[in-house]
Structure 1
Amino acid sequence: MHHFNYKNGRLHCEDVALDTIADDVGTPVYVYSAATLRRHARVIADAFDGMSCLIAYSVKANGNLGVLKTLAAEGCGADVVSGGELMRARKAGIPASKIVFSGVGKTRAEMRLALEEGIHQFNIESSAELGVLSEVAKSVGKTARVAVRVNPDVAAGGHPNISTGKSGDKFGVPWNDARTTYAQIAETDGVEAVGVDVHIGSQIDDIAPMRAAFEKVMTLVKDLRNDGHDIRRVDLGGGLGIPYRSTDNPPPPSAYAQMIREVTEGMGLEVILEPGRVIAGNAGVLVTEALFVKPAPQRNFLMVDAGMNDLMRPALYQAHHDILPVRERGADDEKVRYDIVGPICESTDKFAAERDMPCIEGGDRLAVMSAGAYGAVLSSQYNARPLVPEVLVDGDRYAVIRRRPDFDEMIALESMPDWLS
């Protein structure tokens, strides 16, 4: 469910018309619904009610401070994969005791920062990383609480590029090496094994592969306890899918929670979850304005002012996003088939191919739906285009939570060498 609906012929975010925001801020612009963020966080929390559970929102999905602050108020922790994400979470008021540091390539500086902040745990992904973390922890007089991310060789995810739990993926310790890695931890100063971590992919629309992976992890937990390790946490990652199409029907958080209850029953474990897309995905849209229609022999190109530098998912994953006109059209309006493309000088700069839409003219505005996750965070200034502003709506009020930089700000980090001055 989300809070984007037509009212009086105009698409609204909660009680604010998207046209109002576009008139004020310009296009393209990301718009997020605080009510949707809160609702999704509460649905997940309610599904796990009564369990020892840390909901560590995945900052990489959408790391805007306004979004993080909204979720911090709901009691969410944070799953971070960089020092920058860690500092974003802390600045938004998320306690370090609720922060999990994931990621396959942490630097020594990032490890030191996380240790000094006192985070909940590190998810380590290799023996080599373990050795570096031990050195850093000893150098600052700390003990790092760690979980080993294991690779269970279970394929899942909506696209090969977001499947992370299959043998051959760069993520995690190979399944057959897991117990050896924990034995290494027991003999290494500066680190303490407290849990097991697993994450098999993103945009998963079937609980079966998750259950298969989690059941393997529970077997490993038992083996590790028999080996003498005090395993008291299990981090089950994220990855639950969302409906990008109106016809999509991914499993609800309640079904996901019930499966986890069944798998972990009687184990006495704290469960850590890392939801990202399922909280933020349908809480945001990208509003763009049509420039003109370019007729071609085999298709009509609908040129819009947003580009792949603003929303990378269609180019990167061939991802589908529903696209709605901001001005409501009748169900019987004649449809025109368009390729909806942006101004970037790349052939992959395409939001939709052969999409049937009501007739669109220059100046009409469109909302690219389900753009709240992996949208603004993946944006760039390619083709010297400024980053897209982000707006947070809460009821009938809204605020710009990232403004669009001007040209001088875009190049402020650059300078001429002396010999060119």
Structure 2
Amino acid sequence: MSQLPRHAVLPLPHLHTATLAIALRGGSRYEEREEAGLTHFLEHMIFRGAGERAGLPELMEAFERVGSEPEAYTSEDAITLVLELDPARLREGAELLADVLLRPTFSEIEAERALILEERLERVDAEGHPADLEDLAMGLAFAGHPLSRSILGRKSTIESVTPADLHRWRERLVQRENVALAVAGPLEPGEAAEQLAPLAALPAGDALPLQPPLPPASGPRTTFHRAEGPQTELRLCFRAPGERDPAFPALCVLVDLLDGGPTSRLPRELVDAGLAYNARAELVALPDGGLVALELAVAHRKVGEALETLRSLLAGLTEGVGGAELERAALRRGHRERLERDDARNQAEWAARRLLYDLDPDPIRARAAEGAVSAEAIAELASTVFAPENLSVAGICSRPATRRAVKAALANW
């Protein structure tokens, strides 16, 4: 079993199905400019036939015999394959996924190319300029770094990718040290590891290096896409510690205090108060850094007031968090932990991602670390994260007066 990639077995004996997740380093972080979008294209093609099952229909029939339809998705720094299946057929599922990784046929590339080009249309305007709020925000927060590029890549790249390009890129990603896998469900760890044996056939090779380093924060910065609409959409991103940082558990608690439930700060002070139709917080977590991203959808005339309320809300976190608020966060954390124990897919995906970057894959220990975070640690971290130099703001709005209101509000930060 030493030839298996890094792996974890998460026993959930009360469940009736299992999930196998395989994560590989990839995505925009590891792509050169001329390669941008290759991981995402590979994601689309990965189930278009493998081995003797030369096409998509034959391969899907085989997957249906062991479980559900397999899925794949791409993030900034990984591509993940997921299969929910009958626990008794884990070996067959592992054989199929090994075939997909080692012997893909990449059939019907033109059909998939057309789908990717359609997908790209959802993220650009009529002239082909970036118009997706998350893409705009990443481009600003990590300007000049590969992370600033959309995971879909440029139209010219999508139009020119060949099966040979995909095979070359797959060979770079499918290396034993560049892969991590996790299986969760009603499984005994020793037996489950044996059933994963087909994945030991992955070739020996190193992980892609975590390069280049993230650029220094240089905020506050703004960018706007001009588009007609009844609201202004904003995504405020603050540079933050990464998953390997000892402060990461405190960061998870901080984001929960912002938007962990109906009594957390964003819904209570912005949505319930009638200042914003939508207000949410998201943690973009990378091994060596991350973003606390705050999204607002606001009527044009309320932008200034909403941003001032948000500034005051964040400043309050730097001054301290009360015991009652921390207690509510602990209750939410307990609810999530119980939900996770009933969700094999969530646990397998999370553990595979953690293993991929040499992090502890045990969710119980992760929740315990969050539970040990003090109010003082949260206030200290908030003071660091919500500093103006960490801030970048992407917006979608058509009105010059609204853009001026955003910049005026940010001047007070």
Task: Please indicate the TM-score interval, normalised by the length of the shorter structure.
Answer: under 0.3
Going by fraction, where is strand more abundant, 1 or 2? 1
Going by fraction, where is helix more abundant, 1 or 2? 2
- Structure with the greater relative contact order (CA < 8 A, sep ≥ 6): 1 or 2? 2
